[in-house]
Amino acid sequence: ELNYLYMTHQYDTLKNRALEILDKTPFDAEHLNAILDITDYMSNINDLDQSEQIIDKYLGLFPTNFEMTNLKGILYLKKAMNIDGKAESVRLSKTLSNTDKIKLQQELKVEKDNLYKVAHEWFEKAYTIDSNNSENIKMLYRVKRTLNLPISPEFEAKFQEVIK
């Protein structure tokens, strides 16, 4: 049902139905996949705040859960990517002066960098939980490169092994 609502762009109905299902779903390890699915739908319809609330609730109960920890990092990457749309709107604005455009774009760059830093923290936490998850290794590496953070020789070797 949720997939149908997503595919037919019935996002309000999707959100309401997903939250109804979530209210009836126990927050435990047995129902993790269902919770992850609902979290993904919220994220895919760009309701990142709702997605984060679900993740935080689960992590409040299971703070070392790899999937949710990793997903929190992905969520912050999505928030950072949303900044690109805002920056493009500023760039294309017909009402803002060039000085205002430059100022707003600089502010958005700082905001985006801060979101990347938070994503990095969550990918690091996920790496601490499972240092062999290839997708998390790739994401962590990407964020480290984006932020120009140092990469240890051991982590570089692990990344190179993953991408082979």
pLDDT tens per residue across span 110-138: 999 999 999 999 999 999 999 999 999 99
Task: Please give the pLDDT value at position 112.
Answer: 96
Task: Please give the pLDDT value at position 137.
Answer: 98
CA distances from 120 to 20, 25, 28, 99 (A): 32, 30, 26, 32
Task: Please give the pLDDT value at position 21.
Answer: 95
Confidence grade of residue 14 (pLDDT, cut at 50, 70, 90):
very high
